[in-house]
Structure 1
Amino acid sequence: MIPREILQKIRRIQIRTSHQVDELLAGNWHSAFKGRGVEFEEVRPYQIGDDVRAIDWNVTARSDQPFVKLFREERELAVQLLVDLSGSQKLGTTTQTKRELVAELGALLSMSAIKNNDKVGLTLFSDGIEKSIPARKGSRHVLRLIRELLYCQPMGVGTDIRFALEHLNRVCKRRTVVFLISDFQDTQYERALKVAARKHDIIPVVITDPREHEMPNVGLVRLQDEETGEAITLDTASSQNRDHFANLYRRECDTRDHLFRRLRLMPIHLETGSDIVEPLHKYFHLRETRA
């Protein structure tokens, strides 16, 4: 039996995101992803003006004349939410935790997909796969996804993005639009991300909290890592400590963003306590423009 407060949270998120979906959609979802899901249909002889990138080199080599591949757009997309539920998602120093932000984002993306007649699935992970729900349609299916985003109690506390991406490649056989939602406080997932990006349309969504990049001056504090359990006492009155904290965070962000650029991935950056619709608007518009 789901506790009443969880049901109330689900209902609040459903009501809030139903308005956001109408605001977000305004043509943005379809135009951003149109043509991303395509299936090979046939080949035909090359004609002047055809995109040379569409040349089928195998057929061309066999026939001694150039042929190009023709594709048809799929009527529906497969959308997968790959969501990090590790211990660090409990952090929240504004009006919401990172996990609450992720739940609202997941609801918004799910409802947007359903309104466009696309299927949406959900995979929750920590240092293992916590739950995997196949892509389906329908409002009842979306409510189940929201419930899992809010209510699922992960067995693990660590983060293993590599394992989650490898699981994605095993279970998703067709090309899928994948929202990889995490704070990316992990390493050694580069190769798995590279493989997944060749097969799927990967969209990294970076979730942060203001206190992760700026330490307040509040004197001595006791800090504990939610994923490792390690605890330290830190003097936040020290400007040297605050600067070191900020520099360490910047280096980690630079490493992550450099990886995204090398793999030609366009990330979305969201912060707790901030609006999520406007960054999505900008992102979808940018995708449409680049496409």
Structure 2
Amino acid sequence: MAGTTLGGDTGTGTARAEAVLSRLQLLVTRKLDGLLQGDYAGLLPGPGSEAGESREYRPGDDVRRMDWPVTARTTLPHVRRTVADRELETWMAIDLSASLDFGTALHLKRDLVLAAATAMAHLTVRGGNRIGAVVGTGAGSVPKSRFRRRAPEAPAAAPVIRLPARPGRKEAQGLLRAIAHTEIRPGRADLGALIDMLNRPPRRRGVAVVISDFMAPVDGWARPVRKLGVRHDVLAIEVVDPRELELPDVGVLTLADPETGELHEVQTADPKLRHRYAEAAAEQRGAIATALRAAGAAHLRLRTDTDWLLDIVRFVAAQRHARTRGTTR
């Protein structure tokens, strides 16, 4: 499959968001429909998560669902029913910090965030399943007075949009449209607090998806992810641009921090600098992967310079194969 484009490379706003979203929905529908086999339509497939009633075994039943305690008491083989297959609830934590409004390859990182959210919605919103989201972005800048100087004010709290979980494709499209139209503000969302919102109020077991570049300090979000994994199947989707992993040799490069607006001049012709940068980036990504693995989360990395849809297809296929063989992530 050739590289997949998300739409126009320039411009923002409603028209672009709608064009990107329409393109994404068409691509996801065409490429991912073949992966949805069976009653469970979630990304992390399995026999079910909520225990239901037991019934006597019938020829053709999955022996992995045998209810051995009931079988021992009644001396007749019984299987355990599960009820989550048709009542799956998926919640997404969408990080739209200013660092996501960046991209040097095929896509912007925010486009990949929307692509991942679209794929999650398509993979889960079937058979009465519900999907909701919490969306966080930066706090924005505080306007300065035109007439007098004053001490800088404390930054405003980062806004969070909560989109309630509802069943149906129409509702899922509305949720994706709300995400696509979310304005990215300067500053960084509190990723730990955003993830923690998926723990409140307590919900029955379901799927929790965290979509971010995870550029925030690991200590700030690792514990909320571990807490989330106690009750839910957690999927972490990490969005990465190649320039965040290594610097090209292009001479003096002026870099702007998208979250603070600070400018930095970097002499990329220095091989030692490029080597230190690559080492630091590898160490950072390694720490992210270690924290997610310790939390028991499935980890999918999407890059702006690769075919994101092919990466998702491979990931879903690998998850299904692992579950079929009874292995862990």
Question: Could you tell me the TM-score, scaled by structure 1's length?
Answer: 0.82
Instruction: Read off the aligned partner of 1:247 and give its amino acid letter.
Output: E
User: 1:29 deviation in Å?
Assistant: 4.5
Tell whether 2:162 aligns with 1:132: yes
Identify which range, 95-104 or 268-277, moves more after superposition: 268-277
Match of 1:113 among 114, 121, 124: 124
User: 1:113 deviation in Å?
Assistant: 1.1
Instruction: Read off the aligned partner of 1:251 and give its amino acid letter.
Output: E
Cα distance in 1 between the residues matched to 2:280 and 2:93: 27
The residue matched to 2:104 in structure 1 has which SS? coil
Counting only pairs closer than 5 Å after superposition, residues 1-291 of structure 1 correspond to structure 2 as 3-26=14-37, 29=41, 32-39=44-51, 72-74=82-84, 75-126=86-137, 128-155=158-185, 157-187=187-217, 188-275=220-307, 276=309, 277-288=312-323, 289=325, 290=327
Cα distance in 2 between the residues matched to 1:159 and 1:287: 34
Judge conservation of contact 2:226–2:294 (CA < 8 Å) in 1: no
Instruction: Read off the aligned partner of 1:213 and give its amino acid letter.
Output: L
The residue matched to 2:110 in structure 1 has which SS? helix
- CA gap of 1:183–1:5, structure 2 versus 1, over 3 A, is closer
User: Which runs of 4 or more aligned residues in structure 1 lie more than 6 Å from their structure 2 counterparts after TM superposition?
Assistant: none
Write the deviation string for residues 164-209 of structure 1: whole angstroms up to 9, x where unpaired.
1221111352222011111111122222222111122111111111
- CA gap of 1:286–1:90, structure 2 versus 1, over 3 A, is farther
Cα distance in 2 between the residues matched to 1:76 and 1:161: 28
Cα distance in 1 between the residues matched to 2:292 and 2:44: 19
Cα distance in 1 between the residues matched to 2:90 and 2:196: 17
- CA gap of 1:8–1:35, structure 2 versus 1, over 3 A, is same
The residue matched to 2:298 in structure 1 has which SS? coil
Cα distance in 2 between the residues matched to 1:167 and 1:194: 13
User: 1:241 deviation in Å?
Assistant: 1.0
Cα distance in 2 between the residues matched to 1:40 and 1:26: 22
Could you tell me which runs of 5 or more consecutive residues in structure 2 were left unpaired when the two chains were aligned: 1-12, 55-63, 70-79, 139-157
The residue matched to 1:80 in structure 2 has which SS? strand
Judge conservation of contact 2:124–2:130 (CA < 8 Å) in 1: yes
Cα distance in 2 between the residues matched to 1:200 and 1:215: 38
- CA gap of 1:3–1:251, structure 2 versus 1, over 3 A, is closer
Judge conservation of contact 2:188–2:259 (CA < 8 Å) in 1: yes
- CA gap of 1:33–1:14, structure 2 versus 1, over 3 A, is same
Cα distance in 2 between the residues matched to 1:31 and 1:100: 20
Higher helix share: 1
| Equivalent in the alignment of 1:67 | none
User: 1:91 deviation in Å?
Assistant: 1.3
Aligned-pair Cα RMSD in Å: 2.8
Question: How many residue pairs align between the two structures?
Answer: 268
Could you tell me which runs of 5 or more consecutive residues in structure 1 were left unpaired when the two chains were aligned: 43-49, 56-69
Cα distance in 1 between the residues matched to 2:44 and 2:17: 33
User: 1:157 deviation in Å?
Assistant: 2.6
| Equivalent in the alignment of 2:73 | none
User: 1:243 deviation in Å?
Assistant: 0.6
Identify which range, 183-192 or 210-219, moves more after superposition: 183-192
Identify which range, 2-11 or 151-160, moves more after superposition: 2-11
The residue matched to 1:267 in structure 2 has which SS? strand
User: 1:35 deviation in Å?
Assistant: 3.3
- CA gap of 1:10–1:191, structure 2 versus 1, over 3 A, is closer
- CA gap of 1:217–1:163, structure 2 versus 1, over 3 A, is same
Judge conservation of contact 1:220–1:236 (CA < 8 Å) in 2: yes
The residue matched to 1:216 in structure 2 has which SS? coil
Cα distance in 2 between the residues matched to 1:31 and 1:150: 21
- CA gap of 1:124–1:252, structure 2 versus 1, over 3 A, is same
Cα distance in 2 between the residues matched to 1:72 and 1:274: 38
Q: Percent identity?
A: 24
Cα distance in 2 between the residues matched to 1:31 and 1:271: 19
The residue matched to 2:87 in structure 1 has which SS? coil
- CA gap of 1:4–1:161, structure 2 versus 1, over 3 A, is closer
The residue matched to 1:197 in structure 2 has which SS? helix
